[in-house]
Amino acid sequence: MVLYNFKKITVVPSGKDFVDIVLSRTQRQTPTVVHKGYSISRIRQFYMRKVKFTQQTFHDKLSTILEEFPRLDEVHPFYGDLMNVLYDKDHYKLALGQLNTARNLIEKICKDYVRLLKYGDSLYRCKQLKKAALGRMCTVMKRVGPSLAYLEQVRQHMARLPSIDPNTRTILICGYPNVGKSSFINKITRADVEVQPYAFTTKSLFVGHTDYKYLRWQVIDTPGILDHPLEDRNTIEMLSITALAHLRAAVLFFIDLSGSCGYSIAQQAALFKSIKPLFANKPLIIVCNKTDLQPLETLAEDERQIIQELKKEASKCAAGQLINAVPDDDDGCLLTMSTMTEEGVIAVKNAACERLLQQRVEVKMKSKKISDCLNRIHVAMPRPRDTKERPPCIPQAVIEARAKSNANRERKLEKDLENEHGGAGVYSVNMHKHYLLAVEDWKEDVVPEIIDGHNIADFVDVDILQRLDELEREEDALAEAALANDDEDMSEEELSPEEMQALAVIRRKKKKLLEEHRLKKTTADSRPIVPRRHDKDREYTSSRMGRHLVSMGLDPSAALNRVRSRSASRRGRKRERSTIGEDDADAMDIDQPSKRLRARSRSRSQSRALTEAIPGEGFKDTAQKQKAVKLAQKASKKRNKNARRGEGDRVIVNLKPKHLFSGKRSIGKTDRR
């Protein structure tokens, strides 16, 4: 899992580009036209909006830069020290602090000038205040230009840093330059690190990934380290020192036995002793490389003695960090290999991975969390209840199934038979041996396809011609019977009255079905549903409903009266005045309410005048609204004349009018435009 990804940091523009971006955005996203004929409050609001928008744009962009750049106090110590080595922690913090100060200054400038704009007494005064506000903001941004340029360089370099997870399983390779570190990481991972026969080819950290025991491992190649004091080491060497100091990894210290790297074994041993404190609490393996040029057994006695001393010190480190390690058993602390012949490369990788896994398990066992896990784990061991032996019992069905599977497994396949009998092209597969026939000898019989020039299938049925003649005679008899039936058709004159009536019913029914089918076919599902009162066939009538209710033994009078009253109300009949009592007739005027209702309906349908004031619009009376409408029309008169959509419409319909850009110009002045 990658915890830190610096490739997504937003690009930091320079001071001049920053100002151009913000001012261009202000020009594009705020109104650009204001007239001296506007009210002073509208003019003030116009310029205050520009100042506030500019300040907010500066604030958003600066906040994005400050939030996306990592804070050294919040990242992992490895990345904190790495950035201190590469970019100088003080310079980095100072640049971010200057941007934060610029953001606060711009906010303060905005507040001051907005306060002054509230009391601007003319368009000119407001415009000058706006220019001063934007000018001071741009001056502040130009002063922090060097900080922006520095942060852009830092961003570009951070984007090229490898994604290193400080908490995952890691193998760290270190040693003198040109001892084979990059060749080793290229062999065990998919990384492609440049390898050259000179020192300091690797100038930065490179990361590769490999697999061991179904786990993903991170392998880091560090630049070469020279044996001199810490304060004399350059930036490239400090990258390796930072990785050794902060990453919990298995360390592989490479030694060149052949001396082709330019440094003797004694010098390499001195480097090991000088950086030995960085190996504390880490699995350590000394790797003797380039054994194809100089085997370990052929070294001089004094050099072999140096190697043995390094081996003992490495074993002491292992004994100090692992609880179950034995100091005398130091075979795993010294390994030999050759990246040229790849001899021992995989053994070195496996040993480093195994030591790191063991160390991580030991650390977890010593932690306080292991007690919580052990409290939840219980291994039950059943106690014997008697002295009787109970050997494992396998059911008979399982034994038979195993025997069947073994028999199937032992059965030879066609591929096996083909390999036994000469292979492909020599062995021919028998396709008939699995046929299920009544007699086994029939499997190998050869069945011909052609006999005496005829297809053998023609001779399967000996009576086929006789059956064909019978079938043809039967077809002729059926055809003659059909002709006879056509001649004997009855005419309508010979039908009885009952048959004629039945025939007429059948024809009507057939015609109706045809019409319904055609209607469905033409209109499909888009045809309208006709209400019952419009049906032409009068299938659903009140009289029919009455007859149906009478047949059911019900009284249809109430239902029929209700239907008739509804139909009468639809035709616009007035209600009978019998519903009003005779005593109330004098006290109540029937015609008067209807007159009031008609008058109210007429007043409601009339439209209100445009200049009439409506409660809630914010006008005191109609006169004030008329005056406001007249001012609005007067202000938009020039804009409408120029076919503008609004105050912010700056579209030029015709950039090159034909009468100005066509034809020849005579000798003389051309400044008439």
* Residue 210 and residue 285 in one domain: yes
Strand 334-336 with 206-212, pairing: unpaired
Report the candidate in 587, 563, 565 with the shortest Cα–Cα distance to residue 576.
565
Q: What is the pLDDT of residue 539?
A: 65
Measured N-to-C along each axis, helices 15-29 and 145-159 cross at an angle, to the nearest 10 degrees, of 100
* Residue 193 and residue 142 in one domain: no
Question: Average pLDDT, stretch 513-536?
Answer: 67
Q: Is pLDDT of 139 > 50?
A: yes
Of 102, 136, 157, the residue at which a domain comes to its end is: 157
If DSSP codes are grouped into helix, strand and coil, which group holds residue 171? strand
Q: Is pLDDT of 102 > 90?
A: yes
Is residue 272 assigned to a domain? yes
Is residue 111 assigned to a domain? yes
- Domain assignment of residue 18, given as a range: 6-157
Is residue 484 assigned to a domain? no
Residue 169 CA to residue 166 CA, distance in Å, equals 9
* Residue 24 and residue 150 in one domain: yes
Q: What does the DSSP assignment read for 621-662?
A: SHHHHHHHHHHHHHHTHHHHHTT-SSTT----S-SS-HHHHS
* Residue 82 and residue 207 in one domain: no
- Which of the two residues, 447 and 187, has the higher pLDDT score? 187
Categorize the per-residue pLDDT at 127 as very low, low, confident or very high, splitting at 50, 70 and 90: very high
Angle subtended at Cα 491 by Cα 488 and Cα 494, rounded to the nearest 5 degrees: 105
Q: Are the CB atoms for 184 and 339 separated by under 8 Å?
A: yes
Is residue 478 assigned to a domain? no
* Residue 99 and residue 201 in one domain: no
Question: Average pLDDT, stretch 552-559?
Answer: 84
Strand 284-289 with 250-256, pairing: parallel
Residue 648 CA to residue 42 CA, distance in Å, equals 15
If DSSP codes are grouped into helix, strand and coil, which group holds residue 670? coil
Residue 640 CA to residue 104 CA, distance in Å, equals 43
Residue 56 has, within 13 A of its CA and on its CB side, a CA count of: 10
Question: Average pLDDT, stretch 63-73?
Answer: 89
Residue 130 CA to residue 49 CA, distance in Å, equals 10
* Residue 18 and residue 119 in one domain: yes
Q: Are the CB atoms for 277 and 325 separated by under 8 Å?
A: no
**338: amino acid identity, one letter:** S
- pLDDT tens profile 155-205: 998 888 888 888 888 999 998 888 888 888 888 888 888 888 777 778 888
Report the candidate in 250, 196, 244 with the shortest Cα–Cα distance to residue 222.
244
> What percent of the chain has pLDDT above 70?
84
Of 348, 369, 390, the residue at which a domain comes to its end is: 369
Instruction: Provide the number of structural domains found in the chain.
Output: 2
- The pair of structure tokens assigned to 567 is 């139909």
- Which of 14-18, 80-84, 582-586 shows the lowest mean pLDDT across its residues? 582-586
- The pair of structure tokens assigned to 483 is 């002709």
Element (H, E) at 186: helix 181-188
Q: Is pLDDT of 417 > 50?
A: yes
Angle subtended at Cα 278 by Cα 273 and Cα 281, rounded to the nearest 5 degrees: 115
Report the candidate in 375, 278, 368, 282 with the shortest Cα–Cα distance to residue 322.
282
Q: What is the pLDDT of residue 367?
A: 76
Q: Are the CB atoms for 137 and 113 separated by under 8 Å?
A: no
Residue 420 CA to residue 233 CA, distance in Å, equals 71
Indicate which CATH number applies to the domain containing 181: 3.40.50.300
Question: Average pLDDT, stretch 409-428?
Answer: 81
DSSP H helices, 445-496, are 464-487
- Which of 250-254, 466-470, 527-531, 548-552 shows the lowest mean pLDDT across its residues? 527-531
- 201 phi and psi, to 5 degrees? -70, -40
Categorize the per-residue pLDDT at 3 as very low, low, confident or very high, splitting at 50, 70 and 90: low
**DSSP E strand boundaries for 186-333:** 206-212, 215-221, 250-256, 284-289
- Which of 5-9, 288-292, 571-575 shows the lowest mean pLDDT across its residues? 571-575
Question: Average pLDDT, stretch 54-69?
Answer: 93
* Residue 170 and residue 292 in one domain: yes
Is residue 454 assigned to a domain? no
- Which of 61-65, 371-375, 414-418, 484-488 shows the lowest mean pLDDT across its residues? 484-488
Strand 206-212 with 215-221, pairing: antiparallel
Residue 130 CA to residue 116 CA, distance in Å, equals 10
Q: CA 23: distance to chain centroid?
A: 35
- Which of 10-19, 72-81, 280-289, 664-673 shows the lowest mean pLDDT across its residues? 664-673
- Which of 13-22, 102-111, 503-512, 587-596 shows the lowest mean pLDDT across its residues? 587-596
Report the candidate in 89, 57, 53, 58 with the shortest Cα–Cα distance to residue 72.
89
* Residue 203 and residue 152 in one domain: no
Name, in order, each residue with C-beta under 8 angstroms of 192's C-beta and a sequence gap of 6 or more: 186
Of 329, 350, 369, the residue at which a domain comes to its end is: 369
Residue 516's Cβ-count burial label (10 Å; 0-12, 13-18, 19+) is exposed
- Which of the two residues, 113 and 421, has the higher pLDDT score? 113
* Residue 205 and residue 307 in one domain: yes
pTM of the model: 0.52
- Which of 133-137, 231-235, 531-535, 587-591 shows the lowest mean pLDDT across its residues? 587-591
- pLDDT tens profile 368-413: 777 777 777 777 888 888 888 888 888 999 988 888 877 766 677 8
Q: Is pLDDT of 61 > 50?
A: yes
Residue 30's Cβ-count burial label (10 Å; 0-12, 13-18, 19+) is middle
Categorize the per-residue pLDDT at 588 as very low, low, confident or very high, splitting at 50, 70 and 90: very low
Residue 77 CA to residue 91 CA, distance in Å, equals 18
- Which of the two residues, 25 and 451, has the higher pLDDT score? 25
State which of 210-219, 402-411, 578-587 shows the largest mean pLDDT.
210-219
- pLDDT tens profile 591-614: 444 454 444 444 454 567 878 888
Q: What is the pLDDT of residue 150?
A: 93
Q: What is the pLDDT of residue 421?
A: 84
Q: Are the CB atoms for 25 and 70 separated by under 8 Å?
A: no
Categorize the per-residue pLDDT at 668 as very low, low, confident or very high, splitting at 50, 70 and 90: low
What mean pLDDT value characterizes the chain?
A: 81
Q: What is the DSSP letter of 578?
A: G
* Residue 122 and residue 256 in one domain: no
If DSSP codes are grouped into helix, strand and coil, which group holds residue 235? helix
- Which of 15-24, 145-154, 295-304, 602-611 shows the lowest mean pLDDT across its residues? 602-611
Q: What is the pLDDT of residue 597?
A: 46
Is residue 673 assigned to a domain? no
Is residue 412 assigned to a domain? no
Q: What is the pLDDT of residue 607?
A: 67
Q: What is the pLDDT of residue 490?
A: 61
**379: amino acid identity, one letter:** V
Is residue 262 assigned to a domain? yes
* Residue 189 and residue 301 in one domain: yes
Categorize the per-residue pLDDT at 116 as very low, low, confident or very high, splitting at 50, 70 and 90: very high
Q: What is the DSSP letter of 530?
A: P
Indicate which CATH number applies to the domain containing 50: 1.20.120.1190
* Residue 143 and residue 170 in one domain: no
Bridge partners of residue 343, in order along the sequence: 338
